[in-house]
């Protein structure tokens, strides 16, 4: 995911962010698999209403009791949204899950939907009520400002996105090991080249595992030296050639490039 200390970091640290009561299974995960139920308890499902039904569109991370962090490209001002916390299986009623309407949605002012590669693909959702934390609902930790992860650092993408290019979205929350491709690697000409900026972080690129439609806005989860999980990335874009095209890793908004902006949004709203 230090001179700037986030309000969200302060809130989360008091409540023990990044340490899920139900621990995720992280050994020898290569391809995307069903996660252990509620082992990523900061993961949310962002849903929109269409024809009287709520439909999953993006992921996101609960960073405070009444704030969610997601991608700017997930937001369409013409749609009505809700945030579902405590979810694992999208097609089942689950004890402890809760759907909450947004009070306010703030998209980064420099986000340009026509020029995604310019970056700034980040938005904050203020919830109309604070969630109740539980074993199934916990806060994400945000890394210190300007934290950069080394090449091949092990991280996990989580989400309900399509299980393969053009396929159906997942019912159960998926997870997959996606090592970081550092900027030097990811900006090579046969990787993403100039399309990837330093305010982004790449992960994956092996041609097997990748984020896909529906994973957008969701977290790139990375464990720090203290054993605490931090959300270092917000899923932003994949290659038009396919969700898991070789040397075209999933590109995430680098959270540690936006600590000051997140802090300002939460303090001013």
Tell the burial category of 92 from Cβ atoms under 10 Å away from its Cβ (0-12, 13-18, 19+): exposed
Say which of 56, 73, 136, 183 is annotated catalytic: 73
> CA-CA distance, 119 to 3, in Å (whole number)?
23
Contacts for 48-57 with beta carbons within 8 Å, 24 or more apart?
A: 48/76, 48/79, 48/80, 48/81, 49/79, 49/80, 49/81, 49/82, 50/79, 54/82, 54/99, 56/90, 56/160, 56/169, 56/214, 57/214, 57/216
Concatenated DSSP letters of 145-195 = TT--PPTT--EEEEE--BSSTT-PBPSBPEEEE--EE-HHHHTSTTTTGGG
Annotation says 97 is catalytic: no
> CA-CA distance, 53 to 155, in Å (whole number)?
34
Is the Cβ–Cβ distance between 127 and 190 less than 8 Å?
Answer: no
Annotation says 73 is catalytic: yes
Say which of 39, 121, 183, 239 is annotated catalytic: 121
Annotation says 13 is catalytic: no
Say which of 8, 61, 216, 236 is annotated catalytic: 216
Q: What is the set of active-site residues? A: 73, 121, 216
């Amino acid at each position: 995911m230090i001179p700037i200390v986030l309000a969200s970091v302060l809130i989360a640290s008091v409540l023990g962010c990044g340490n899920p009561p139900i621990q995720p299974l992280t050994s020898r995960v290569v391809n995307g698999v069903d996660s252990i139920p509620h082992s990523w308890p900061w993961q949310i499902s962002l849903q929109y209403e269409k024809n009287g039904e709520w439909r999953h569109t993006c992921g996101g991370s609960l960073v405070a009791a009444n704030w969610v962090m997601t991608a700017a490209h997930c937001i369409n001002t013409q749609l009505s949204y809700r945030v579902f916390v405590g979810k694992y299986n999208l097609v089942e009623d689950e004890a402890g899950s809760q759907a909450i309407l947004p009070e306010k949605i703030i998209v980064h002012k420099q986000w340009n939907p026509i020029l995604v590669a310019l970056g700034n693909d980040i938005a904050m959702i203020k919830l109309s009520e604070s969630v109740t934390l539980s074993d199934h609902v916990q806060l994400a930790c945000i890394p210190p400002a300007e934290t950069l992860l080394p090449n091949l650092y092990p991280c996990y993408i989580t989400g309900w996105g399509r299980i393969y290019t053009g396929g159906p979205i997942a019912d159960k929350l998926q997870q997959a090991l996606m090592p970081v491709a550092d900027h030097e690697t990811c900006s090579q000409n046969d990787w993403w080249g100039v399309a990837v900026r330093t305010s982004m972080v790449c992960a994956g690129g092996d041609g097997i595992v990748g984020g896909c439609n529906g994973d957008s806005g969701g977290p790139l989860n990375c464990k720090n030296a203290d054993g605490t999980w931090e959300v270092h990335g917000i899923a932003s874009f994949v290659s038009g050639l396919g969700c898991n095209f070789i040397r075209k890793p999933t590109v995430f908004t680098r959270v540690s490039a936006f600590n000051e902006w997140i802090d300002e949004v939460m303090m001013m709203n």
